[in-house]
């Protein structure tokens, strides 16, 4: 039997591969519509408008490609339409992000930027949503009160109780979420229109259930996932994010393997010094997804220098992983301007685009972020608009650009003589030094730079990075826990989210990092790869110790 077709509007602004995979996983076929040649959506029965990136760019593209009037006609005809993220935002009047651009104005409200004085912006993470006016055991489109959905945005329809009353009087059913002290619109429903600010295709089982209920047009659904008694109310409302990270490289036989070293040395100490082989990247990613990882990160630690970019084996890893892992995927390693073996120059933006099209949600930039920060300071603290951080975040939004920082602790006897932000440390150096800063490295720790991690992160935030993946070479692979002093220093440097990395060896370390710092997420590698603990064990432990985590009901 032929599969039912779902049409998806594709303005080529981000990762639509995951949405396609989710819809196909549910037994439907996807057809993308990139522009309207004959000016009509008459042949379409079910339509999804997903969006990422900049509001103004997205709405302008929608108009330029002739979608606006056919979309209104489509809505008036009563056929089902679902908007996702910037797709939802398009239904609003306008956004502080691009005040000069008019949205469709279906929802009589403006979007504004979250206040970053009490929390990280963008909001990146798993939040719960409250359907206003729902009954005890029923909800709307499977938006269960016990489910968590993945949000990633800086602008939102922030509402007061008067706004809520007004929109409800205009016939909208609303679901709201709370980020810090701000309540904003998480979803809207009116007749055939349904739109979510969060990404259901990135929200694990709960998200798949929601997409299915939309595709089956089962608006009123029975609650499956009931709200658990809250162990903790986090200051932001988000759960504590747990990320599994896969360092990937070719081993000496040319196979792509997940590896893991200590202090960035990935070769066995005995056994002739082979690259440690801990498993196959796609299989391991899927395993961690099933165990309840909130995100999976792939780091190409050797950047496969000899293959043309479009054939990079890591692209295939992303394509395959995105078919089965319905949580955010990040890829790093080699995101920079590159020259193919045939001499063709490929800008970093194009390299990143290939990864987004393959199924990545974020790219992580390591060595090139250091170069960009050095140039930023050499240029008197001015942006040039040309660095990969800038070009990629301009095209795909800041939430799509992570910087990966590889610092090393450097002890200082006299902080007055140091050019970088120093901290007084509880762990004095070998000669009793009481101060340290964190010196930046690149090329996987091989090159040391005259720059502090604090200064690097500040420059990159100004250039347009949306998140910091904070490694620590001294701690990497030691199983001795995270470096809280480094994490607290970097949290005080930036207002974008920070992911703690390096040193996790047991579930207690995750508990401690969230209780001793205000970090936004914590990442583990070796302890998962060596099978010492599962992600589920970490999350169960965290919950038992009073921390709020996302528990997918099918976690293994
Ligand atoms: O410089 O943009 O091409 O990116 C290269 C990327 O590869 C960077 O993100 C850099 O951190 C990473 N990388 C390069 N060499 C190594 C290496 O190990 N030899 N891995 C490497 C860095 C750090 C973490 C690790 C945590 C947690 N890996 O991802 O997973 O330290 O480990 P643990 O939980 O086992 O302690 P570019």
CB atoms closer than 10 angstroms to residue 32: 11
pLDDT above 70: percentage of residues in the chain = 98
Q: Which residues contact 385 (CB under 8 A, 6 or more apart)?
A: 391, 394
Query: Per-domain residue ranges for the chain?
Result: 5-222, 241-544
Chain segment 250-260, per-residue pLDDT in tens: 877 777 889 88
Instruction: Tell the residue nearest (CA) to atom 26 of ligand 1.
Output: 502
Furthest C-alpha separation in the chain: 76
> Given this model, what pLDDT does residue 229 score?
76
Residue 192 CA, ligand 1 centroid: distance in Å: 46
Residues 157, 111 contacting (CB under 8 angstroms): yes
How many Å lie between the centroid of ligand 1 and the Cα of residue 375? 23
Averaged pLDDT, 18-38: 93
Question: What distance in Å separates the CA atoms of residue 182 and residue 113, rounded to the nearest whole number?
Answer: 11
What pLDDT is recorded for position 272?
65
Share of the chain above pLDDT 90, in %: 83
CA distances to 115, 141, 143, 156, 392 from 129, in Å: 20, 12, 7, 14, 30
Whether the CB-CB separation of 243 and 289 falls below 8 Å is answered with no
Closest residue by CA, ligand 1 atom 35: 526
Q: Which of 199, 361, 422, 483 is catalytic?
A: 199
Please tell me whether residue 192 adopts helix, strand or coil conformation. coil
Mean pLDDT (the chain) is: 93
Ligand 1 geometric centre to CA of 243 (Å): 14
> What are the pLDDT digits (tens) for 176-232?
999 999 999 999 999 999 999 999 999 999 999 999 999 999 999 999 988 887 788
Q: Range with the lowest mean pLDDT among 43-52, 227-236, 412-421?
A: 227-236
Contact 420, 373 (CB under 8 A): no
Q: What is the model's pLDDT at position 96?
A: 97
pLDDT of 324-382, one tens digit each? 999 999 999 999 998 888 888 999 999 999 999 999 999 999 999 999 999 999 999 99
The predicted-structure confidence for 64-74, as pLDDT tens digits, reads as follows 999 999 999 99
| Cα separation, 431 vs 413, whole angstroms | 9
Look at residues 228, 150, 125 and name the one whose alpha carbon lies nearest to residue 553.
228
Going 382 to 385 to 390 to 394, the CA torsion angle's sign is: positive
In terms of CATH, what superfamily is 241-544? Aldolase class I (3.20.20.70)
- Mutation to probe ligand 1, out of 366, 371, 465, 480 (largest number of atoms < 8 A from CB): 366
Range with lowest mean pLDDT among 39-48, 144-153, 255-264, 435-444: 255-264
- Rounded to whole angstroms, the Cα distance separating 16 from 41 reads 20
Q: What residues contact 216, with CB distance under 8 A and at least 6 apart?
A: none
334 is in an annotated binding site: yes
Q: How far apart are CA 519 and CA 500, in angstroms?
A: 7
- Write out the two tokens for 87: 């797709």
- The active-site residue out of 61, 97, 212, 247 is 247
As a whole number of angstroms, the distance between CA 207 and CA 22 comes to 9
Q: Name every protein residue with a CB atom under 6 angstroms from any ligand 1 atom.
A: 245, 247, 260-261, 264, 266, 299, 301, 303, 332-335, 364-368, 404, 406, 442, 444, 471, 476-477, 501-504, 524-526
What element of type H or E holds 509?
A: helix 507-516
Q: Answer whether residue 38 shows pLDDT above 80.
A: no
The pTM (predicted TM-score) of the whole model is: 0.96
Give the DSSP H/E element, type plus range, for residue 175: strand 173-179
Q: Which of 296, 299, 472 to mutate to test the pocket of ligand 1 (most atoms within 8 A of CB)?
A: 299
Q: Are 487 and 506 in contact (CB under 8 A)?
A: no
- CB-based burial of residue 170 (10 Å sphere; 0-12 exposed, 13-18 middle, 19+ buried)? exposed
Distance from the alpha carbon of residue 404 to the mean position of ligand 1, in angstroms: 8
The CATH architecture annotation of domain 5-222 reads 3-Layer(aba) Sandwich (3.40)
408 CA distance to ligand 1 middle (Å): 13
CA–CA gap between residue 523 and residue 505 (Å, rounded): 11
Pairing of strands 47-51, 130-131: unpaired
* The pLDDT of residue 273: 75
Asked if 457 is an active-site residue, the reply is no
CA 83 to chain centre: 19
Starting at the earlier edge strand, list the strands of the sheet with 173-179: 29-33, 5-9, 47-51, 81-85, 193-196, 182-190, 173-179, 130-131
Phi/psi of residue 186, each to 5°?
-95, -30
| DSSP track, 421-487 | --EE-SS--TT---EEEEEEEETTTTEEEEEEHHHHHHHHHHHT--EEEE--TTTTT--S---HHHH
């Amino acid at each position: 039997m032929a599969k039912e077709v779902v049409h998806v509007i594709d303005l080529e602004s981000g990762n639509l591969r995951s949405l396609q995979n989710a819809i196909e996983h549910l037994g439907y076929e996807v057809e993308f519509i990139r522009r309207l040649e004959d000016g009509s959506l008459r042949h379409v029965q079910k339509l999804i408008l997903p969006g990422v990136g900049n509001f103004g760019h997205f709405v302008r593209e929608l108009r330029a490609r002739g979608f606006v009037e056919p979309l209104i006609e489509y809505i008036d005809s009563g056929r089902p339409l679902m908007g996702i993220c910037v797709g939802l935002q398009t239904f609003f009047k306008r956004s502080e992000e691009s005040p000069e651009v008019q949205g469709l104005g279906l929802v009589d409200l403006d979007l504004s930027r979250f206040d970053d004085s009490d929390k990280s912006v963008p909001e990146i993470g798993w939040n719960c949503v409250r359907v206003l006016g729902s009954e005890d055991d029923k909800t709307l489109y499977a938006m269960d009160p016990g489910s968590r959905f993945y949000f990633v945005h800086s602008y939102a329809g922030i509402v007061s109780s008067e706004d809520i009353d007004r929109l409800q009087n205009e016939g909208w059913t609303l679901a709201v979420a709370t980020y810090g002290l701000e309540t904003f619109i998480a979803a809207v429903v009116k007749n055939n229109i349904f739109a979510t600010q969060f990404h259901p295709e990135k929200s694990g089982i709960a998200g798949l259930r929601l997409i299915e209920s939309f595709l089956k047009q089962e608006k009123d659904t029975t609650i499956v996932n009931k709200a658990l008694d809250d162990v903790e109310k986090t200051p932001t409302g988000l759960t504590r994010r747990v990320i599994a990270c896969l360092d990937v490289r070719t081993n000496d036989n040319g196979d792509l393997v997940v590896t893991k070293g200590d202090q960035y040395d990935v070769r066995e100490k005995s056994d002739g010094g082979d690259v440690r082989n801990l498993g196959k990247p796609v299989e391991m990613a899927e395993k961690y997804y099933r165990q309840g990882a909130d995100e999976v990160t792939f780091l190409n630690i050797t950047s496969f220098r000899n293959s043309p970019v479009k054939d990079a084996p890591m692209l295939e890893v992303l394509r395959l992983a995105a078919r089965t892992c319905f949580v955010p995927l990040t890829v790093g390693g080699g995101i920079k301007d590159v020259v193919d073996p045939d001499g063709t120059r490929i800008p970093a933006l194009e390299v990143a685009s290939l990864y987004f099209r393959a199924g990545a949600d974020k790219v992580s930039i390591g060595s090139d972020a250091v170069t960009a920060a050095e140039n930023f300071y050499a240029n008197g603290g001015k942006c040039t608009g040309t660095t990969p951080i800038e070009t990629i975040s301009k095209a795909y939004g800041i939430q799509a650009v992570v910087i990966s920082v590889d610092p090393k602790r450097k002890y200082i006897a006299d902080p007055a003589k140091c050019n970088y932000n120093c901290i007084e440390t509880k762990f004095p150096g070998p000669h009793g030094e009481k101060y340290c800063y964190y010196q930046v490295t690149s090329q996987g720790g091989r090159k040391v730079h005259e720059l502090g991690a604090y200064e690097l992160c500040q420059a990159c935030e100004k250039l347009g990075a949306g998140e910091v993946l904070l490694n620590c070479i001294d701690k990497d692979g030691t199983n001795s826990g995270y470096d809280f002093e480094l994490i607290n220093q970097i949290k005080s440097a930036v207002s974008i989210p920070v992911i703690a990395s390096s040193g996790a060896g047991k579930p207690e370390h995750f508990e401690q990092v969230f209780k001793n710092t205000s970090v936004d997420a914590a990442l583990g590698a070796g302890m998962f790869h060596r099978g010492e603990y599962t992600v589920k064990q970490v999350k169960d432990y965290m919950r038992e110790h009073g921390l709020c985590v996302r528990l997918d009901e099918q976690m293994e």
